[in-house]
Amino acid sequence: MAKYSKAQWRPIPINYTSGGQSSVRGLVVHIMAGTLAGTDSWFRNPVARASSHFGTGKTGAIYQWVDTANRAWAQANGNSSWLSIENEGKGGDALTSAQMDRIAEVFAWVHKTYGVPLQVASGTSGKGLGYHAMGGSSWGGHTQCPGSRIVAQLPQIVARAKRLAGSAPVPKPSYAPFPGAAYFKGSPRSALITAMGKRLVAEGCSAYSSGPGPQWTESDRKSYAKWQRKQGFGGTDADGWPGAKTWAALKVPTV
């Protein structure tokens, strides 16, 4: 039994094979050429002889029709080793951002549950996020499913899934360490002071940038003190001079 807990569980009694999922290579993206409600109804019709594991609506609904331990009937010879997700829309549509989010979430779950790599599949013998047309005639020859606009969105969906799975590299900003309170009282203009000035301006303060020496004007210090109080600082942390707390809050980049 494998159900994706965030999907609405809407089991269908027919149109799938119990068991028979040999291994999972990935998730295949389809276009319904119809609505989510219409597809939900169609999969319960014995005439359909079709189903998929998951389905999305344009506004972000997510259904699960078939347990992933079972074989949905979505892409012919691809059914035994690929899971499937149908998407509301007509041929030629792009996915909505909400649909891309839902597919990314399901794909991140497939990654976690089956160890499928977070990548666009290179083909039917590859692994990852695939699409119906990549299977060619052995997958039913659905050359227009899900359409070129959606195929072009697959890398973005993979990127979203990577962020969800926590495997995307998070860029680490580099901030300058606190140079000590005395640095400001005695310091001349420096690259670090200029960088700090830019941050203060960005925070709505006047910048410490004038003069060759420590030229904190009274109005500068008032401006900084006001900003410090706005951060909830008090006492010597709100006296208009940069202290450790102010420095940590300003996040002055290294120079």
Q: Which spans of this chain sit near Zn ion (rule: CB under 5 A)?
A: 30, 132, 142, 145
CA distance linking residue 73 with residue 60, whole number of Å: 23
Other beta carbons within 10 Å of 199: 16
Between 147 and 243, CB nearer to Zn ion: 147
Cβ 24 to Zn ion, closest distance in Å?
Answer: 18
Contact 103, 150 (CB under 8 A): no
Between 47 and 170, CB nearer to Zn ion: 47
Cβ 7 to Zn ion, closest distance in Å?
Answer: 19
Cβ 28 to Zn ion, closest distance in Å?
Answer: 8
Structure tokens at 181: 């309170």
Between 52 and 223, CB nearer to Zn ion: 52
Residue whose C-alpha is closest to residue 93's, from 34, 45, 165, 20: 34
Cβ 53 to Zn ion, closest distance in Å?
Answer: 13
CA distance linking residue 164 with residue 63, whole number of Å: 19
Residue 33's contacts (CB-CB under 8 Å, 6 or more residues apart) are 89, 90, 91, 145
Between 28 and 110, CB nearer to Zn ion: 28
Residue with tokens 């303060």: 205
Cβ 4 to Zn ion, closest distance in Å?
Answer: 20
Between 71 and 132, CB nearer to Zn ion: 132
